[in-house]
């Protein structure tokens, strides 16, 4: 296959959710972003026009399902349809943040499984492959009958923290019992013990946990989670850790959704730093001093290159 550095055979398009990340990914791949015009009619309907030939090309469309999530999801559906009607060789969707991933199981009667619904629509729209990052629910991979590469950010985050923070007295903390596996995995990467916040009702904002399983006194406590939305879980955990004598409190997470007043509340909390990726676009007004942003661009760019060259993506997991 032709080397992608000469800008042949591969086209990368950015939709509206996170163009700065798309620009970094395309630079990693050695190509320029494809040309497309994205507008809305006066009634809010989305209008997309592809402004260059993509006949016979492998097309990669980058779109995070972030705020405004419903508009961004619909943009992707419409863009896929436009690409499918222009004789592209393949259609690959790159979803750094797969929103609606918390709706991946029917835990109560008369509830939808939206993550499956989105997977079905994407497949019916004609995609060939999905590239995503740290799915909130790994079983979403099974919702597709097409290849799904769910990249992991933990090794990059661990390397970044080892290079930039003093972790000689660190302990990795799960904010609740459900996240123990994630905390244990990250602890193995930085060679530290784990602790668990004994939050018996993590979905209840009013419930305040008081106990920590494990030793956090005078330790650098690192709360490990896959995403921060409202920030309730991280802030509750940080307050408990502070009361139990933690010296410093960090949060390491992949997806920074930061809904509503989450950043303001984090700024007022005992959390010293939030190490987060750029899978979700963070505008300048969200770039508070407590944020340490680590880019996913190189990881995702390498994955796109390996897919395009018919090489194994599994090497990126090692």
| Per-residue pLDDT at 3 | 43
- Smallest CA-to-CA distance from 35 within 59, 56, 3 is with 59
CATH class of 154-294: alpha beta
205-208 long-range contacts, CB within 8 A, separation 24+: 205/232, 208/236, 208/239, 208/240
Determine the CATH number of domain 4-152+297-317. 3.40.50.2020
284 CB contacts (<8 Å, ≥6 apart)? none
3-state secondary structure of 133: strand
For the whole model, what pTM was predicted?
0.92
8 A C-beta contact, residue 151 and residue 316 = yes
Alpha-carbon distance of 28 to 209, in angstroms, equals 44
Alpha-carbon distance of 275 to 133, in angstroms, equals 16
8 A C-beta contact, residue 65 and residue 72 = yes
The residues spanned by each domain of the chain are: 4-152+297-317, 154-294
| Per-residue pLDDT at 175 | 93
The pLDDT tens digits along the chain (318 residues) read 334 444 468 999 999 999 999 999 999 999 999 999 999 999 999 999 999 999 999 999 999 999 999 999 999 999 999 999 998 999 999 999 999 988 777 666 778 899 999 999 999 999 999 999 999 888 999 999 999 999 999 999 999 999 999 999 999 999 988 899 999 999 999 999 999 999 777 666 667 788 999 999 999 999 999 999 999 999 999 999 999 999 999 999 999 999 999 999 999 999 999 999 999 999 988 899 999 999 999 999 999 999 999 998 887 876
Q: Tell me if domain 4-152+297-317 and domain 154-294 are identical in fold.
A: yes
Do strands 46-50 and 36-40 pair parallel, antiparallel, or not at all (unpaired)? antiparallel
């Amino acid at each position: 296959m032709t080397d992608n550095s000469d800008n042949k055979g591969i086209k990368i398009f950015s939709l509206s959710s996170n163009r700065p990340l798309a620009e970094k990914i395309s630079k990693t791949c050695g190509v320029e972003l494809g040309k497309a015009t994205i507008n809305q009619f006066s009634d809010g309907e989305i209008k997309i026009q592809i402004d260059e030939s993509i006949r016979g090309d492998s097309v990669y469309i980058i779109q995070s399902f972030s705020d405004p999530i419903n508009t961004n999801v619909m943009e992707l559906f419409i863009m896929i349809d436009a690409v499918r009607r222009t004789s592209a060789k393949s259609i690959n969707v790159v979803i750094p943040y797969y929103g609606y991933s918390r709706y991946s199981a029917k835990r109560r009667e008369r509830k939808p499984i939206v993550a499956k619904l989105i997977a079905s629509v994407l497949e019916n729209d004609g995609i060939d492959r999905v590239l995503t990052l740290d799915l909130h629910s790994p079983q979403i991979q099974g919702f597709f009958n097409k290849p799904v590469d769910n990249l992991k950010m933990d090794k990059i985050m661990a390397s970044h923290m080892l290079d930039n923070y003093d972790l000689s007295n660190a302990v990795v903390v799960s904010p609740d019992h459900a996240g123990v596996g994630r905390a244990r995995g990250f602890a193995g990467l930085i060679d530290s013990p784990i602790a668990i916040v004994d939050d018996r009702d993590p979905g209840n904002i009013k419930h305040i946990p008081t106990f920590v399983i494990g030793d956090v006194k005078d330790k650098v406590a690192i709360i490990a989670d896959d995403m921060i939305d409202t920030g309730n879980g991280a802030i509750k955990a940080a307050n408990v850790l502070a009361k139990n004598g933690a010296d410093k409190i960090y949060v390491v997470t992949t997806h920074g959704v930061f809904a509503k007043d989450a950043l303001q509340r984090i700024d007022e909390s005992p959390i010293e730093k939030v190490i987060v990726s750029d899978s979700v676009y963070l505008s300048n007004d969200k770039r508070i001093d407590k944020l340490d942003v680590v880019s996913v661009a190189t990881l995702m760019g390498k994955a796109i290159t390996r897919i395009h060259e018919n090489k194994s993506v599994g090497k990126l997991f090692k």
